[in-house]
Amino acid sequence: MPSDGPIFETMGGLSAAEKLSSKRSIFAYQLTPLVLVLNPEKAVLSAEDRVPGARLPGRIEVNCEAIRRLCTIRAKFNVRLANSHSYDTHTTLCHRNRRQTVNADFTAEELAFQAEVREFLANEFPAELKQKVDKRIRLSKDEIVGWQKILYKKGWMAPNWPKEYGGTGWTPTQKYIFSTEMGLVGAPEPTPFGVTMVAPVIMAYGTEEQKQRFLPDILESNVWWCQGYSEPNAGSDLASLKTMAVRDGDDYIVNGNKTWNTYGQYADWIFCLVRTDNSVKKQEGISFLLIDMKSPGITLKPIVLLDGHAEVNEVFFDDVRVPAANLIGEENKGWTYAKVLLTHERTNIAGVPRGKRRLASLKRIAAETDDGFGGTMADNADFKAQLAEVEIELQALEYAELRTLAALSVGKAPGPESSILKIVGTELAQKMDEMTVELAGYNCLPFVPEQFEEGFEGEQMGPGSSAAAALSYFNNRKLSIFGGSNEVQRNIISKAVLGL
């Protein structure tokens, strides 16, 4: 019996075994396909019954001392567990697979994909766009569409679409990598209303004709979509919406008004939830209708937000005639379709990459900002603690997102966990807005929103983008309100997760 000799003495020219250079690697090695039986008397670890694909053919003689000790330990687990009802088939002692299970590593393919995304962004994300994003200047419609057309050319416009419709067919991890890399360089994701929101509904419930008519233009960014869901009296309680669509021959006549319509001023089409039946439960009388924004009877009224900019609108429908061919699916089934849309997987809901960019920018600005006592804000004990807290929260959020992603990757449906990501992500973004305001000090007082618009030629107020700090702080109060307010998200958690 070999005692202090080499760990392996091979029999029958085992090249694979030669690669195993430590005792530990015996268990790191993929042993699962083999049935290994330990015979301490003979000090032989043999691989019985060659299994196709097994990497250890034949027999291996092993210095058994360490292994025997280890197997004794393993055996203790197994024997104890064998006594309990759930483990009664553990007859082998030493077949555990010591692979490193818990890990956040990307596979070689995923790393190669990440490199491809990075290279693409380095070469194709226009420098002038990047500059504007960094200076917090609002991008024009043409710039956004131009960037989306670059993505389209690369075949990356629709990460969440299946390949048959011209999507990428990516895995959840690939989508995660893509949106992470985009966020890290500040590249805007495609505006969601077409590609992310209405398209999946058309794919799932639209007719073949509707798919042909609408999907290619969404993919190529030829048509800009906007959303017609909320109404002045239907916010979190969306199902109480009142905009009516009454059938008249081959058309619907639509009357009512929608609000919080983002970028309606750019839009060619709007997807709406409209009431088609008043006599039933509120959820059961809603239909999903696509409406051409050029239709007579539609008027748009901009809503100026606290940052001085009108990124949202109110939309009025006054006897607007809509062809019934624009109805998606069945009449009065719209609520079901909308719910699918609302729960449709949204990548990057937590906003971690953007958060990382903002944190880096906060650190940079803190180091450049006088604290008024001869030092900088980077030395300020309280501000340092806030920076550390934000960084830690980002780490926790990132891993909460990765854990959700890992669950998605093995085919689990996106669950109410996404509510956590929404709540924590938005609160963290708002916290960073507060910190930006704190750093800006007096420099966030000037209210000159137009200096962050395309083509501003007046005198710049406030150094750098400091005058944007308060504007962003005001505007981003929306984060915890839209997309299902954070209170609604808490309702979802308490009902769907905690069963309350």
Residues forming the site for other proteins (CB under 8 A):
23-24, 27, 66, 69-70, 73-74, 76-78, 80-81, 84, 86-87, 96-106, 173, 384-385, 387-389, 391-393, 395-400, 402-403, 405-407, 409-410, 417, 420, 423-424, 487, 489-491, 493-494, 497-500
The distance of closest approach from Cβ of residue 35 to other proteins in the complex, given in angstroms and rounded to an integer, is 15
Q: Measure the CA–CA gap between 436 and 434, rounded to whole angstroms.
A: 5
The distance of closest approach from Cβ of residue 5 to other proteins in the complex, given in angstroms and rounded to an integer, is 16
Q: Measure the CA–CA gap between 277 and 335, rounded to whole angstroms.
A: 12
Q: Which is nearer to other proteins, 159 or 334 (CB)?
A: 159
Q: Which is nearer to other proteins, 458 or 499 (CB)?
A: 499
Q: Measure the CA–CA gap between 169 and 159, rounded to whole angstroms.
A: 7
The distance of closest approach from Cβ of residue 175 to other proteins in the complex, given in angstroms and rounded to an integer, is 13
Instruction: Please name which of 494, 488, 476, 379 lies closest in space to residue 136, comparing C-alpha atoms.
Output: 476
The distance of closest approach from Cβ of residue 406 to other proteins in the complex, given in angstroms and rounded to an integer, is 4
8 A C-beta contact, residue 193 and residue 217? no
Q: Which is nearer to other proteins, 43 or 306 (CB)?
A: 43
Buried b (16+ CB within 10 A) or exposed e, 55-79: ebbebbbbbbeebbebbeebbeebe
Please confirm, yes or no, whether 345 is among the known catalytic residues: yes
Please report, as a single letter, which amino acid is at residue 296: P
**What is the number of other CB atoms lying within 10 angstroms of the CB of residue 174?**
19
Pair of tokens at residue 355 = 């958060």
Q: Which is nearer to other proteins, 174 or 436 (CB)?
A: 174
Catalytic residue among 110, 143, 345, 391: 345
Q: Which is nearer to other proteins, 16 or 405 (CB)?
A: 405
Reduced to 3 states (helix: H, G, I; strand: E, B; else coil), residue 247 is: strand
The distance of closest approach from Cβ of residue 365 to other proteins in the complex, given in angstroms and rounded to an integer, is 17
φ, ψ dihedrals at 245, nearest 5°: -125, 115
* Contacting residues for 308 by C-beta, under 8 A, at least 6 apart: 447, 449, 450, 471
Q: Which is nearer to other proteins, 90 or 141 (CB)?
A: 90
**HSE, side-chain direction, 13 A CA sphere, residue 375:** 6
Instruction: Please name which of 349, 313, 347 lies closest in space to residue 200, comparing C-alpha atoms.
Output: 347
The distance of closest approach from Cβ of residue 126 to other proteins in the complex, given in angstroms and rounded to an integer, is 32
**HSE, side-chain direction, 13 A CA sphere, residue 246:** 8
The catalytic site residues sit at: 345
